[in-house]
């Protein structure tokens, strides 16, 4: 079975926990896009980890973890991540990196810093160099991980890239380091990563053709997709299910199951429109109780009521076969809970998201439901939930038009209940 886990909101939905949950039975986990600009927080029997590049299946020693061709890899960051895992006695032998994945070079990070500094209206980039790497990939200036294996050729290519970048962007010099510093950093990482770099197509092909359990791990969510998100406040790749074939090297006809991950409320970090955001005591309550701080940057996530138009939008574009509803426990303690069921703009009603400049002006239409006071962290079955929480889940399911198969009531792998199909 080929099973994809994708973000149904603005990212930070809890994909890491669910990939960790599913990976226990997976033979292969593939990360198909993005870079170190987002993190997956995982809590399991080994401890608490924030993974930025390594697929979340790394905790299962029998799972092969693949960084696909659609990923952009920061070698230094990846090495540090591997060192953290090894320090916790987690084997990293099962990691393979596509030779076609592009390298996030130090000069891409310098460019990211320069471009954000120069913008009159910030995009909210994490300054990880991801956007400039994808720019160079599309512009055919990029460098692939497989090129690290031929040191002499790589040095020649890197020198050309370094001097060309400084010539093309004169203002970059104030942010740039020296070529020698960049070279030393990359060669140090190369010593660790070289054994992991390979042609991943035969590995993936064999797994799919023989019916192995293959799990696909997306980064961020549909509203940060470069084509379908709130552009320009988006990432530079396609987190949607449609990006899987290009990023992982799997034919679209092989995909059999798509789990959309959504919180029971909505969060967003960075710049851009966020229609249901709450700048009040309820927003602060959700933020504190949900520990809404970015795994990569530590930035505070703005919190708001669950945005149903976004879920509907993702249900169509991603084709969810099921939903996982995360952090239902965070809503405990509220006297009432709300669902944004549509948007109003200039006298028109919309049940799907609009362009970013319109999303900045929409007014959500809310449906109010009774809240509940009970602590849900110990619930393991749907019937254990209080009646109001059950009603909330069923209403979300009905409005989204997709069955909710999983409900999370805490960060641990065991705090996940499975609904009857």
Which are the catalytic amino acids? 12, 40
CA-to-CA dists, residue 183 to 53, 73, 114, 166, angstroms = 21, 16, 21, 16
- Alpha-helix runs per DSSP H in 169-250: 179-193, 201-209, 244-248
Q: How far is CA 350 from the centre of its chain?
A: 27
Beta-bridged to residue 267, according to DSSP, are: 303
The tokens describing 202, both together, are: 């035969």
| Core vs surface per residue 136-168: b (16+ CB within 10 A) or e | bbeeeebbbbbbbeeeeebeeebeebbeebbee
The tokens describing 80, both together, are: 């540090």
Q: Map residue 212 onto helix, strand or coil.
A: coil
State how far the Cα of 126 lies from the Cα of 117, in Å rounded to an integer. 12
Beta-bridged to residue 182, according to DSSP, are: none
* Angle at CA of residue 104, ends 103 and 106, nearest 5°: 125
State how far the Cα of 363 lies from the Cα of 37, in Å rounded to an integer. 30
Beta-bridged to residue 48, according to DSSP, are: 43
Whether the upstream peptide bond of residue 232 has omega within 30° of 0, thus cis, is yes
């Amino acid at each position: 079975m080929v099973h994809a886990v994708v973000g149904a909101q603005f990212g930070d939905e809890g994909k890491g926990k669910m990939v960790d949950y599913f990976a226990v039975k997976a033979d292969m986990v593939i990360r198909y896009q993005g870079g170190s600009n987002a993190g997956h927080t995982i809590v399991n029997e080994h401890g608490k980890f924030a993974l930025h590049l390594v697929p979340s299946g790394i905790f299962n020693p029998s799972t092969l973890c693949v960084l696909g061709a659609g990923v952009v890899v920061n070698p230094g960051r990846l090495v540090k991540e591997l060192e953290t895992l090894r320090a916790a006695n987690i084997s990293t032998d099962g990691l393979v990196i596509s030779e076609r994945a592009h390298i996030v070079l130090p000069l891409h990070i310098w460019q990211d810093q320069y471009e954000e500094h120069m913008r009159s209206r910030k995009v909210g980039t994490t300054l990880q160099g991801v956007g400039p790497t994808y720019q160079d990939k599309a512009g055919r200036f990029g460098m692939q991980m497989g090129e690290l294996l031929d040191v002499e050729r790589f040095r020649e290519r890197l020198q050309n890239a370094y001097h060309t970048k400084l010539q093309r962007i004169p203002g970059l010099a104030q942010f740039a380091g020296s070529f020698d510093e960049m070279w030393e950093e990359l060669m140090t990482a190369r010593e660790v990563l070289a054994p992991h770099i390979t042609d991943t197509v035969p590995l993936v092909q064999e797994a799919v053709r023989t019916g192995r359990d293959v799990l696909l791990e997306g980064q961020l969510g549909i509203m940060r997709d470069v084509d379908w998100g709130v552009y320009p406040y988006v990432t530079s790749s396609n987190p949607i299910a449609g990006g899987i074939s290009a990023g992982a090297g799997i034919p679209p006809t092989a995909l059999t199951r798509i789990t959309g991950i959504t919180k029971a409320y909505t969060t967003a970090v960075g710049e851009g429109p966020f229609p249901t955001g709450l700048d009040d005591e309820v927003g602060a309550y959700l933020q504190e109780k949900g520990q809404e701080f970015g795994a990569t940057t530590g930035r505070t996530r703005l919190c708001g009521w669950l945005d149903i138009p976004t879920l509907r939008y993702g249900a169509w574009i991603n084709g969810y076969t099921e939903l996982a509803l995360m952090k239902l426990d965070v809503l405990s303690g509220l006297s009432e809970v709300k669902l944004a069921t549509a948007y109003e703009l200039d006298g028109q009603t919309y049940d799907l998201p609009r362009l970013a400049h319109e999303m900045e002006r929409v007014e959500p239409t809310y449906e109010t439901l009774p809240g509940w006071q009970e602590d849900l962290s110990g619930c393991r079955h749907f019937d254990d939930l209080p009646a109001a929480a059950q009603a909330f889940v069923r209403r979300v399911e009905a409005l989204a038009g997709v069955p909710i198969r999983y409900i999370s009531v805490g960060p641990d792998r065991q705090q996940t209940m499975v609904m009857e199909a």
